[in-house]
A and B are shown apart, each in its own frame.
Chain A
């Protein structure tokens, strides 16, 4: 089993050393609902609030030559848009596309 699993098991066995049994399914089930899921929940709330705070922000366009490289066309579409192109946040080499929201 992975060293991460072994390490975690040692920690839990040590923590449960006063007579309790080795960390079993019950322990990890508890950890899932008491630690893991609340942790994810807190991070979800945090990310959501931070996104609301500064939402739509379009970075200023400066035609730097070290960015927006087009040495070779992309092998799709017009060859000028990256795979996850976002018209609002990704400028083309000449600037943002005219149809920005």
Chain B
């Protein structure tokens, strides 16, 4: 077998970028077709292909890094840059929805009654479930930090406990938010208030689910001894993402739930 004279990872050919791209095409066009022609086929196909791509691509990365030793320090540095850049792009994604919210709420139109919240909208009390949600996510930030230190100190059992608590808190948030969505006296169709509220909090909720899944994969990997006290970038990436989700919630809470009520 040939040896390389550098520390970088020349990745083997892989079909997953292509299947991922096809999945993206099917999902987008499929959703449009669902909205206009009442058929879920393309969208469902895209969803299945996306899930298969996700599972197999990241499985391959774990094989390359954890079992085949390809994630040398320079490679890990590149992965760090990559995750940071990705999270930065997500920050801009949410910035757009905050822009929409502030655009609509700072200068409410006459159609809404010239006020914010608009006439006829009963807002949620920010000091009820939304405050609890804030406490839940902040607590999960503490538990995920406990998990990180546990991993760095080689404390296997504590790492498993704290990581599990973090995931449970994430599930609790999702459950509470789902309940709020059901109990809310306004819907997404209630003018620009409903649109900005549900699109911003909705995408945030999706990111909580994604973050919880990422952490759950880390838990499975921790149980299977993938992480060492010095090398556990997958976990760090998940923790960064989780903190990002927490920070987005704080902005949502202050802007939409509190100031906007």
List A residues at the B interface (Cβ < 8 Å).
1-2, 4-5, 8, 23-25, 27-29, 31-32, 35-37, 39-40, 42-44, 46-47, 50-51, 59, 62, 64-70, 72, 75, 82-86, 89-90
Nearest-neighbour CB distance to chain A for B186, whole angstroms, equals: 8
* Inter-chain contact A36/B125, CB cutoff 8 Å: no
Q: Could you say which of B120, B128, B143, B148 contacts A62, with CB atoms under 8 Å apart?
A: B120
Interface of chain B, helix or strand or loop or mixed?
A: helix
* Inter-chain contact B139/A28, CB cutoff 8 Å: no
Distance between Cα atoms of A83 and B194 in the complex (Å):
13
Residues of A within 8 A of B71 (CB): none
* Inter-chain contact A82/B236, CB cutoff 8 Å: no
Q: Categorize the interface residue count of chain B.
A: 35 or more
- With A29-B162, A51-B128, A75-B35 as known contacts, state yes or no: A82 contacts B188, CB within 8 Å: yes
List B residues at the A interface (Cβ < 8 Å).
34-35, 38, 111-113, 118-122, 125, 127-129, 131-132, 134-136, 138-139, 141-143, 145-146, 148-150, 152-153, 155, 158, 162, 165, 169, 178, 181-191, 194, 236, 239-240, 243-244, 246-247
* Inter-chain contact A32/B132, CB cutoff 8 Å: no
Distance between Cα atoms of A50 and B135 in the complex (Å):
16
Nearest-neighbour CB distance to chain B for A9, whole angstroms, equals: 8
Q: Could you say which of A29, A66, A75 contacts B38, with CB atoms under 8 Å apart?
A: A75
Residues of A within 8 A of B184 (CB): 84, 86, 89-90
* Inter-chain contact A39/B188, CB cutoff 8 Å: no
- With A40-B135, A67-B121 as known contacts, state yes or no: A5 contacts B145, CB within 8 Å: yes
- With A4-B141, A47-B128, A50-B127 as known contacts, state yes or no: A28 contacts B146, CB within 8 Å: yes
Distance between Cα atoms of A46 and B247 in the complex (Å):
23
| Residue of B with least CB distance to A9 | B145
| Residue of A with least CB distance to B192 | A66
| Residue of A with least CB distance to B87 | A2
Residues of B within 8 A of A68 (CB): 187, 189-190
Distance between Cα atoms of A75 and B38 in the complex (Å):
7
* Inter-chain contact B128/A1, CB cutoff 8 Å: no
Distance between Cα atoms of A23 and B153 in the complex (Å):
12
| Residue of A with least CB distance to B134 | A43
- With A4-B247, A25-B158, A32-B142 as known contacts, state yes or no: A82 contacts B240, CB within 8 Å: no
Please name 16 pairs of A and B residues whose Cβ atoms are closer than 8 Å in the assembled complex, sorted by A. Answer: A25-B149, A28-B162, A29-B158, A32-B139, A35-B142, A36-B142, A37-B139, A39-B135, A43-B135, A50-B125, A59-B122, A66-B112, A66-B118, A66-B120, A84-B184, A90-B186
